[in-house]
Amino acid sequence: MNFISRYKNMPSPARAAIWFVICNVVNKGISLLATPILTRIMTTDQYGTFSVFQSWVSIMTVFCTLNLFGSVYSRGRLDFRGSEMQFESSLLGLSSVLTLAFFGIFCMAPTFWAEVMGLSPFLIVLLFVEIALMSATSFWSARQRFEYRYRALVFVTIATNVFSLGAGIIAILNTDAKVEARVIMDVIAKGIPGILLMVLIFARGKCLFRKEYWKYGISLSVPLLPHFLSHYVLNQSDRLMISQIVNNSAAALYSVSYSIAMALVIVVTAINDSYCPYTFQELDEGRVDGVRKSGYLILMLVGALTIMIMAFAPEVLSVFAGPEYSDAVDIIPPLSASVFFIFFYSMMSNLEYFYKKTGLIAIASVASAVLNIGLNLVLIPTFGYKAAAWTTLASYMMLAFMHWAFSARICRVELGRQVYSSRYLLLTVAVVLIVTLGMDLIYGMVLVRYLILLIITVCLFVKRHEILSVVRKRS
C-alpha cells in the first residue's frame, strides 16, 4: 500500500518517466524473446537478411527524417508556443518529402541500390514504406513524452511490437518466402497506427509546408547528422559490412551474438539513469569524493556483469539460437566488453554534460565510427565476420578514452583536479580486457566458468548494500 500511495502522489512527470522506462524494458524484452524464436524458424541466411533489413531501416531513417522528431521537435515546441500543431505537421511534411525524395533516387536505379544494400528491390520498397509511416508515430510519440501522456504511448508501442512478432511468426510458418513475410507483417504492424496518426497530425495541424518551420528544422538537425550517423554506424555497420563482404548467414551469426551481448545495455542504461542525476547533484554541492567512490563501485558492478555474460555465453547462446549458431560463441566476449566501455564513456560524458562542455562529443562519435568502418574494411576480408566483434570493441574503447581525455581536461579547468583516479580506471579496464582475451580458452572448462560466476556472485552479494545505495540515489 505504501508503494501505491507513493505512486499516486507522484507528479505526472515522475509517473510518466516510470512508465516510459517500463515500456522500453518490455520492448527490449520482446526483441530478445523474438531472437530464439526467429533463429529456429528461419535459416541463418534468412535471419541474416532480416537483420540487414533492420540495420538499413535504422540508418536510412536518419537520412529520410533527419531525426526531426527528436530534440529538434522538443525545442521547437518551446520556440513556437501556440502553434505546436502546425509546427508538428510541417516537420512531418518535411520528413515525408525527404523520404519521397530518397525513394525517388532509389527508383532511378533499383538494381544498383539493391546490390549496394544487399536487399531485393521489393524489400527496399517496404523499407521506405515503413520509414514514411513510422515518422508519424515518432512525432506522435515525442508529443506524448513532452506532455507526459504515457498511457496511450505505452499501449500503442507494446501492442505494435507484440502484433508484429506474433503475426510475423504465423506468417513465417505458413510460407516459403520467410523474410518477406516477416518484413510485411512488421510494416503492417507499424503502418496501421502510422497511417492513422499521419492523418490525425495533418488534420490537426493543417500545415504541410511553412518555410519558417522547415528552415528551423533543417538548421538544427543537419549539423547533428554526423553525430546521429556515427551512433548508428557503430551499432549497425558491422552487420551490413559482414553481409556484403562475407554473406547473410555470417551476418546472422554475428547478429545473434550481438543481441546477447547488447542485452546488457538495458541494465547499464538503467544504472546510468540513476547514477547520472546523483552525479549532477553531488558535483553541484561540491561533493566530488562521493561521485568518485560511487563511480568506482558502479564501474566494478558493470565490469562484473560483463564478465558474467562472457562466462555464461555458451549456455545463453544455446537458448537464444540452435547449434548452427554455436560458432559465434567466441565473439560474445569482445562484444560484451564493448558494453563495459559504453558505460565507461557514459560516466565520462556525464561530467561533460554537467559542465556544459559538449562541443567535442560529436568529434569522438565520428572518429570512433570512422575507425570502425576502416578496421572492418581491412580485417573482415582477411579474418571473417568474427573480426567485426573486435573492431567494435576497439571503436568503443576509442570512444571511451576520448571522452575520458575530454572530461579530464574539463575537470582540470573547472575543479583543479580529477574526479576519477587514472590508476583505478586503468586497473578496471585491464581486468576486463584480460578476461575478454582469455575467456575463449576456458569455454570448454565448465567448472572453471561456473566457479568464476560463483565468485562474482558472492562478491556482488557482499557489496550489495553499497551498490544498491548508489543505484537508488536519484536527484
Q: What is the DSSP string of 153-199?
A: HHHHHHHHHHHHHHHHHHHHHT-S-HHHHHHHHHHHHHHHHHHHHHH
pLDDT in tens, 215-260: 999 988 887 788 778 888 888 889 999 999 999 899 999 999 998 8
Contacts of 85 (CB under 8 A, 6+ apart): 201, 204, 205, 206, 207
Q: How far apart are CA 127 and CA 187, in angstroms?
A: 8
C-alpha cell at 376: 572492418
Q: What is the pLDDT of residues 173-194, one digit of tens each?
A: 999 999 999 999 999 999 999 9
Is the predicted pLDDT of residue 307 greater than 60, yes or no? Answer: yes
pLDDT surpasses 80 at 5: no
SS (H, E, C) 210-224: CHHHHHHHHHHHHHH
Say which residues have a Cβ less than 8 Å from residue 7's Cβ, sequence separation at least 6: 15, 18
Calpha distance 436→331 (Å, rounded)? 10
Grid coordinates of 152: 496511450
Given a contact cutoff of 8 angstroms between Cβ atoms, the answer to whether 88 and 139 are in contact is yes
Give the tens place of pLDDT for each residue, 430-473: 999 999 998 888 887 888 888 888 888 888 788 777 766 665 55
pLDDT score at 474 = 47
User: pLDDT tens-digit profile of 337-369?
Assistant: 999 999 999 888 888 877 777 667 778 888 999
Number of other CB atoms surrounding residue 292 within 10 Å: 16
3-state helix, strand, coil in the chain (%, to 5): 85, 0, 15
Looking at residue 175, its pLDDT comes to: 92
Copy the grid coordinates of residue 90.
510541417
Burial class (CB in 10 A: 0-12, 13-18, 19+), 16: buried
The CA radius of gyration of the chain, in Å to the nearest whole number, is 23
Q: Around 267, how many Cα atoms within 13 Å sit in the side-chain half-sphere?
A: 17
What is the DSSP track for 51-79? HHHHHHHHHHHHHHHTTTTTHHHHHHHHH
User: Residue 360 corresponds to which amino acid?
Assistant: L
Neighbours of 86 (CB within 10 A): 17
Q: Please spell the DSSP secondary structure of 263-283, one letter per residue.
A: THHHHHHHHHHHHHHHHHHHH
Give CA–CA dist 276/349, Å, rounded: 10
Alpha carbon dihedral 230, 234, 239, 240, in 10-degree steps, equals: 20
Model pLDDT for residues 88-105, shown as the tens digit of each residue:
999 999 999 999 999 999
Query: How far apart are alpha carbons 34 and 320 in whole angstroms?
Result: 9
Q: Determine contact, residues 440/244, Cβ cutoff 8 Å.
A: no
In the predicted model, is pLDDT for residue 149 greater than 50?
yes
**Which one-letter DSSP state was computed for residue 322?**
-
Which grid cell sits at 212? Answer: 519558417
What is the DSSP annotation of 344-365? HHHHHHHHHHHTT--TTHHHHH
Average pLDDT of the segment spanning 391-398: 96
Smallest CA-to-CA distance from 258 within 231, 239, 278, 272 is with: 239
Residue 122 pLDDT > 60: yes
Q: To the nearest whole number, what is the mean pLDDT of the chain?
A: 87
3-class secondary structure, 323: helix
pLDDT of residue 475: 41
Using DSSP, state whether 48 is helix, strand or coil: helix
User: How wide is the angle at C-alpha 123 spanned by C-alphas 121 and 124, nearest 5°?
Assistant: 65
Question: CA 172 → CA 47, 50, 53, 167, 178, distances in Å?
Answer: 11, 12, 16, 9, 5
DSSP string, 1-28: -HHHHHHHTS-HHHHHHHHHHHHHHHHH
CA distance 194 to 205: 16
pTM: 0.82
